[in-house]
Amino acid sequence: MAVRVALLAAGSTAVGRDPQFDRGAPLGETARASVRAAASRVPRTPTTLTAPSPRCRDTAAELGRTALVEGAIDDWDMGRWRGRALAEVAAGEPDAVAAWLGDPAAVPHGGESLLALCERVGGWLDRLADPAPAGRVLAIVEPAVVRAAVVHALHLPPPAFWRLDVRPLALTELSGRAGRWNLRLGA
pLDDT at position 25 over 70: yes
Q: For 104-143, how does the pLDDT look when each residue is reduced to its tens digit (9 = 90+)?
A: 999 999 999 999 999 999 999 988 877 655 589 999 999 9
Residue 166 located in a structural domain: yes
Residue 98 located in a structural domain: no
Of 182, 168, 170, 185, nearest to 13 (Cα)? 168
Residue 175 located in a structural domain: yes
What is the predicted pLDDT for the residue at 133?
Answer: 58
Residue 87 located in a structural domain: no
CATH code of the domain containing 120: 3.40.50.1240
Residue 141 located in a structural domain: yes
Q: For 47-102, how does the pLDDT look when each residue is reduced to its tens digit (9 = 90+)?
A: 999 999 999 999 999 999 999 999 999 999 999 999 899 999 999 999 999 999 99
Q: For 26-45, how does the pLDDT look when each residue is reduced to its tens digit (9 = 90+)?
A: 898 999 999 999 999 999 99
What is the predicted pLDDT for the residue at 22?
Answer: 78
Phi and psi at 84, nearest 5°, equal -100, 155
DSSP class of 18:
S
> Is the CB of residue 9 less than 8 Å from the CB of residue 143?
yes
Residue 47 located in a structural domain: yes
Residue 107 located in a structural domain: no
Residue 88 located in a structural domain: no
Specify burial of residue 105 (Cβ count, 10 A radius: 0-12, 13-18, 19+): exposed
Range of the domain at 51: 3-78+112-184
What is the predicted pLDDT for the residue at 21?
Answer: 83
Assign 70 to helix, strand or coil.
Answer: coil
Looking at the chain, the whole-number percentage of residues with pLDDT higher than 70 is 93
Total number of domains constituting the chain: 1
What order of strands is seen across the sheet that includes strand 135-141?
68-69, 47-50, 135-141, 3-9, 171-177, 180-184
